[in-house]
Amino acid sequence: QEVSWEAENTQLYLMVVTRCIKVCNFENSAICKIQDVDIISLQSVRPQNQKQQDEEPWIRELKKLVGNESFYFSVALSGNEAFDITLCAQRRARGATTDNRFFWNRMLHLHPKRFGIDTDKWLVKVICGSIEFCTLYMNNHTPKVLIISRLSCERAGTRFNVRGVNDAGHVANFVETEQLIHIDSLDNMVLSYIQIRGTVPLFWEQPGLNVGSHKVKMSREPEVSVQAFRKHVRFIREKYGRFVVLNLLGTGVTGKRQGEAALSHLFQLQHLNCQWSKSETHIVFDFHQECRGGSAEALNKKLKPQINQHIDEFGFFFCRNGKIEKVQSGVMRTNCLDCLDRTNRVQSFLAIDILQRKLELMGVANNGVIVQRFTSKLEEMWKDNGNKISQNYAGTGALQGSKLIDGARSAGRMIQNNLLDNSKQEAIDIFLHGNLLNNYLATLSRTLLPPSYLYAPLNVLKQTCERSSEYCDSIPFRVAVGTYNVNGGKHFRSLAYKHLSLDDWLLDSQKNEGKNPKGTYKLKVITRDIRLRNVCARFYSLIIVIKWKDG
């Protein structure tokens, strides 16, 4: 089939950082935050007197996205290789290569490399997220403290455009946050602790105009989520080892958070039925119920006893003079609904708790002044880190408990999410994939090819899709489309019809082709999904897709 897409119209662009600010110097590299970029076509020349408003809308949106001070890169200060900002300390020490999950401008590197161009000196690796830095004073040493949050680009998007999991097992708002302490004057000591967050790995969404409380809706049936859920669990185990799910969703079955409770229940069921349920713990902690106001005292009393054993087992990474002495063998996976405000608070609490163990290795755990200095500074850094993660996903800073500030930010989120996020989502898709992924070619490519192939040039995708018959097998199947009249539910509680099922209509429909289904059926076999008790209409349609082995 001819693909209705003009691949010849593809244009190549170079994104140039025109303004940035240095965050810190670290490991012979400068870590910088992008403040402004220019996008230059490599196939056409823009007149020097062209005004900014004459630019294409997508270029303006892309410049706005990358220039919002959420993107970072590193450059070498000497002839050495630049600090790889996509890798945590433990992976760097083990010699890992660039982590493509956090390599946001990877696509922009591909075209020059296809032609053998050495780009190491002038093309940089960019992450999206947050980097907080400070230098503290500890006796005669000056530890460098960083909090690096790396937002995954595998399911990137805005709050109400991208939710839950995709078929590849990647979840929205997946962030790896590293708390890193480096003391080069004290045996070149490096201490690192990793936490992760990500939305509930099921197929769910919050459709419609979102104002105030947002209704949660499952976009696919729970049974369909099984494979995606397993892929997500397998991915975490491969990257981080063991893990503990810290589920902060509400559990109340009434009120405005009943959608959260239903989502949390399905999450728990998926985990319970997973093959790794015995080795990977799932902790349910209704944050709003158990910890009103998010006080540290409540977290200490109610949450800490449940997680202490796991934190001790997983440990943290410790390296001295280039020699690895301790590794982190597991990770805490924290989630609430958006993985923002509640998650920020709990991750900050966990980070301060693990800090005490780090200070013991540094030999200053008994020095109250130094402990207080580290604690107060890290609490401030974690607050700023949470604000930036929230800004990326929801468009405003995190909610902190102040009624005035939280009210303003909630109103800002409503405006941002309902009016401005679509253009931001388009900019993200263009940045990551080179196009909006909403045309026929993109849809066909996602159907036929693995996700990584979407980065191929459009002319390659076009030819690959047109020649799909050379590498795809056709399997015949039958589709049955049926309409069932529930008659306003009149017979739902009738004893006369309670033993009737839909088996002969559903399973033998190919034999009854052209015939009307006999009798009035009680939809017992599928009421899990339809919930007839709440059906008020007199008519309900079912579309059933059935595949028979005999074709």
All residue ranges of the chain with pLDDT < 70 are 1-10, 44-54, 208-214, 253-256, 293-294, 396-421, 435-439, 451-452, 454-457, 477-551
pLDDT of residue 78: 80
Domain assignment of residue 430, yes or no: no
**Shared domain check, 488 and 409:** no
Residue 112, SS3? helix
For residues 361 and 341, what is the distance between their CA atoms, to the nearest angstrom? 31
pLDDT of residue 383: 93
Given a contact cutoff of 8 angstroms between Cβ atoms, the answer to whether 39 and 23 are in contact is no
**Shared domain check, 406 and 498:** no
For residues 178 and 396, what is the distance between their CA atoms, to the nearest angstrom? 22
Domain assignment of residue 425, yes or no: no
Domain assignment of residue 441, yes or no: no
> How large is the C-alpha radius of gyration of the chain?
27
Give the sign of the dihedral formed by CA 202, CA 198, CA 292, CA 402. negative
Q: How many domains, the chain?
A: 2
**Shared domain check, 179 and 63:** yes
Residue 501, SS3? coil
**Shared domain check, 508 and 404:** no
127's CB contacts (< 8 A; 6+ apart) are 71, 72, 73, 85, 86, 102, 103, 104, 150, 151
pLDDT of residue 119: 78
Please say which residue of 400, 417, 434 terminates a domain: 417
Please say which residue of 417, 438, 463 terminates a domain: 417
pLDDT of residue 6: 46
pLDDT of residue 520: 39
pLDDT tens for residues 450-477?
A: 766 766 667 778 888 888 888 887 777 6
**Shared domain check, 397 and 319:** yes
pLDDT tens for residues 342-397?
A: 999 999 999 999 999 999 999 898 999 999 999 999 999 999 999 999 988 877 66
Domain assignment of residue 194, yes or no: yes
pLDDT of residue 450: 74
Domain assignment of residue 357, yes or no: yes
**Shared domain check, 482 and 344:** no
Within the chain, how many helices (H) and strands (E) appear? 16, 16
pLDDT of residue 2: 36
Domain assignment of residue 432, yes or no: no
**Shared domain check, 501 and 392:** no
Q: Could you list the residue range(s) of the whole structural domain that residue 59 is in? A: 7-417
**Shared domain check, 371 and 495:** no
DSSP 396-433: SPPP-S-HHHHHHHHHHHHHIIIIIHHHHHHHHHHHHH
pTM score over 0.85: no
Please say which residue of 401, 417, 433 terminates a domain: 417
